[in-house]
Chain A
């Protein structure tokens, strides 16, 4: 049986934990706002890029199409890029992405394909290292600021794999930010580039003139598009992470509150029982005189 002092200590420690989770929740909420803004600001660029590429891709077809768009014609070698967060304490956020990637990799391996893995974010690396450590190409950490300079080395690693013929298909796993309460792990195919069928035709029927040639533009545009796709996915990931962390910490704070109430009730009962016992002892002693 725990003594009264032990119980007081336990209540104190739960209270301290609650203070921490509460603070973390508030920090996550503040950061979520900023991450959400950043993700939203990046959207117009990615969207326009997609429609420009869709326009271009219509004109270029067959043998003239760059490999990044048309693919190598084979689907034997897969490169899987898994983007998670650097930190945990965000409910099932990182695990959900890692699980989706793991299932995908297992399915590919079962089909006899070769798979290589690049991870972005410390948590994804930790979770997948045990299972697929020998497939790892490289692991990246996110660091503080998320911008094009963060994405550049990741894109370069992907291009290197692709250019040197070690990858035919490149897929990116990340978490789609649906809303503050819903983040869904998703896969996005980076190479061969996917053309949005929905992208509308804005040429108005007139023939485009290109400076320099169509192919040359496409060749510079496609790598840039890939970089932007990764960046926008990472930004979405980031927003999802803070949303997930916020609700996880909200839950933790509430649970701690419930625990404190239950412990307080138990503590008070015990204190009363002790007082009653003491009184009985005193009365019994007085009667004995």
Chain B
């Protein structure tokens, strides 16, 4: 588990995602950023965009509108005003 990053994505209505993953990419207000395990503490506001959660070969994407990301020793917490998971479309 040493190299995993704990992520929780919560909205006022409910907790959308919680678990240990490899990487999280979030749309910061000053630019999109990726977070790996052991990232330096960071706090930033988010703009409207996509949060991508990568774990092994799995990939989950969430549309978020406004919010905050708090990265600390325990992992990353994304507080989104509104968020919804993209539903994969079959090609």
Contact = CB atoms under 8 A, between A and B. Distances in A.
Contacts of B40: 206, 209
Nearest to A204: B73
Interface SS majority for chain B: strand
B68 A52 contact: yes
A147 B30 contact: no
A45 B43 contact: no
B79 A210 contact: no
Nearest to A46: B12
Contacts of A206: 40-41, 73
Contacts of B45: 211-212, 216-217, 220
B77 to A, nearest CB: 5
B55 interface: no
B70 interface: yes
Given A52-B70, A211-B30, A45 B10 contact: yes
Contacts of B84: none
A198 interface: no
Interface in B26-51: 28-30, 40-45
A212 B30 contact: yes
Interface string A24-50: 000000000000001001101110110
A202 B74 contact: yes
A206 B71 CA distance: 11
A209 to B, nearest CB: 5
Interface residues of B, number: 25
A207 interface: yes
Among B8, B70, B77, B82, residue most surrounded by chain A Cβ atoms (within 10 Å)? B70
Interface in B10-29: 10-15, 28-29
A189 B72 CA distance: 28
A41 B14 contact: yes
Given A49-B79, A211-B29, A42 B41 contact: no
B30 A203 contact: no
B72 A44 contact: no
A232 B12 CA distance: 8
Interface in A169-215: 202-204, 206-212
Given A204-B73, A211-B29, A41 B42 contact: no
A248 to B, nearest CB: 29
Contacts of B14: 41-42
B79 A48 contact: yes
A221 interface: yes
Contacts of B30: 211-212
Contact of B77 (A46, A52, A203, A232): A52
Nearest to B41: A208
Interface of B: 8, 10-15, 28-30, 40-45, 68, 70, 72-74, 77, 79, 81-82
Interface of A: 38, 41-42, 44-46, 48-49, 52, 55-56, 147-148, 202-204, 206-212, 216-217, 220-221, 224, 228, 231-232
10 contacts: A38-B13, A41-B13, A41-B15, A48-B77, A202-B73, A203-B72, A208-B41, A209-B43, A211-B42, A211-B43
